[in-house]
Structures are given as C-alpha cells and as structure tokens.
Structure 1
Amino acid sequence: MNALNPVMWSVHVGFAVLWTGGVLFVALAVLPPALRGEIDGGALGSIVGRLRWITRIAALAFIATGGHMAGTLYTFESLTGSARGHLVLTMIALWFLITGLVEVGSGKLTDGLDAGKLREPARDAKPFFYGAAGLSVALIVAAGLLASPTLL
C-alpha cells in the first residue's frame, strides 16, 4: 500500500465534508431567512462568497487527491466495469453538477446583492442551491456505498 494513500484519503474526505456541509448549510439554514428578508445582505454575501471559495479550493483538492486515488486504485476497466468504478464515476459527475449549481446560484445571489436587493436574488438562487443540496445528499450516499466493505 502506498504510504501517501491515507493522507490523500484524509484530505479528500475532509474537503468533501467541508464542502457538502457548506452547501447544505447555505441551502437549509441561510437561504430560508434570506427568502424572508430576515438576514443582512452583507452577511449573506459573505457566507455565499466563502462557500464559493470553498467550492473552488475543494475542486483543486479533489483533482489532486481524487486523481491520486483513481490512479493508484483503479484502471480504466475497473472504473467502467465494476460497481465501485461506477460509484466513482457517479461521484465525479455529481461533483461537476454540484459545483456548477453552486457557482450559478452564488452568481445570481451576489449579483442581486450588489444591486441592493435581497429577497429577489435569494428567490432566483433558490433552485440552484436546493438542487446542489439534493445532489450533495446523493454524493454522500454514493460515498457511503463506496466505503462499504460489502459492495459488490
């Protein structure tokens, strides 16, 4: 076993927890008060800006750590021809989708906040953040299945 693998797994999982937790936090705890006009626009902009940066930094971490793990644990055939490989490919697709949804939702929100609005941009960003939250749950389920020692 490669001595670097535990470090890569730890960094990968750490960023995954931070990122998916941030997406769920914004969608479930921050966006609802914004829709009701109960949160300060500056605070909302700061929170969403941080999620955007976490998303971008996590992307770099996922490329480095996930690339290492895929390169040491899988072949093309095992990625495309096994249940574990299919889960890895599913997780990659989910990652791209969630990243895109967070970027679009964040952009809609910050553009509206820059224009001095709160409820309208929150409403415009809502489907993107809710979609990202739902896909984040699917990503967590896929990760749990991949971590299962009894998977096919």
Structure 2
Amino acid sequence: MVLDTVMTTLHVLTGALWVGSVVFVAGVVLPAALDGSLDAAPLETFADRLVYGSRAASVVMFLTGGHMAGTGYTFDLLLNSSRGHLVLAMLLLWLVLSALVEIGRSRLVEGLQEKRVRSPARNAMGVFRAAAVVGVLLLVDAGLLASDVALY
C-alpha cells in the first residue's frame, strides 16, 4: 500500500512538472526569444536542461506508470475497459510528448549554434505548442483516471 502511494505520488508530481516545463517553454520562453529578449547561449542551455529533464521524467513516468499498471490492471482490463483505454491513451500521449520535446529541442538548437535566436525559436514554436497541447491532454487523462469517471 505504501509503495503504491509513493509510486502514484511520484508519477503525478513528475508528470505535472514535466508538462508544466513544456507549457512554460511554449508560452513564455519561445515568445521571449521571438521578440529578441533572449540571447542564444542562455536559450541553448535552457533547451538542453529541458530535454534532459524530459528524458529523466520519461524514465520516472515509465517506471512508476509501469508499476501502477502492473499492480492495478490485467492485460484484459487494459484492452477491454474504459479505464484501461485511458491508461493506454496515456502511454501513447507520453510517447508523443517525449518525441515532440526531442524534435522541438533539435529544431531550436540547430540555429542557436549559429548565434541566431528568432528563426530557431520560430522553427521550434509549433512543435512546442503541439507538445504543450499533448501535455495538457495527458493531465486531462490523469484527471479522468483519478476521478473514477471511467469505471471498469
């Protein structure tokens, strides 16, 4: 019981911090870069830290989510219940969010190495906006699972 509580808490906290950081990049950092308020070096450092944090969050989410799915669901429940479908949707969204953060960082850093800021920020903006939307969908999915709206 204590292990389940720790895993759930760590899972939710990590997910919220991960999604929050992606939304912050899409809503605050990249718009600041587009208007010329950020230089290339700090923006590159920030992008690197975001992607390392995203990778760490992915590992934590995989381990804690795997524990929760393994202890709370059978294979049949995952495939044949509304809660199972929400869990599988969360897994898919998690993979998409991970990929979008990696792609967005790659697009951003390409131009930053040439000491350009606005063009790389513009190139990465759409990807990070999509990542933010996926992140919000992840939190909505988590809320549905927590609220027991979708009972077995």
Report the RMSD for the aligned CA atoms in angstroms. Answer: 1.1
- The answer for the alignment partner of 1:16 in structure 2 is 15
Q: What TM-score results when the alignment is normalised by the length of structure 2?
A: 0.95
Question: Residues 1-150 of structure 1: matches in 2 within 5 Å?
Answer: 2-150=1-149
Deviations 1:116-148 (CA, angstroms, capped at 9, x unpaired): 111111111111101001111111111110100
* Aligned partner of residue 4 in structure 1, secondary structure: helix
* % same residue: 47
Residue deviations 1:66-95 (CA, integer Å, cap 9, x gap): 111111000111111111111111111111
Alignment-mate amino acid for residue 96 of structure 1? L
With a CA cutoff of 8 Å and minimum separation of 6, indicate the structure with the bigger relative contact order: 2
TM-score normalized by the length of structure 1: 0.95
- Which ranges of structure 1 fall in alignment gaps of 5 or more residues? none
Task: Give the Cα–Cα distance (whole angstroms) in 1 for the partners of residues 84 and 150 of structure 2.
Answer: 11
Residue 115 of structure 2 aligns to a residue whose secondary structure is: coil
Q: Which amino acid aligns with 1:69?
A: M
Give the Cα separation in 2 of the matches to 1:3 and 1:21: 27
SS in 1 for 2:2: coil
Aligned residues: 151
Which structure 2 segments of 5+ residues have no match?
A: none
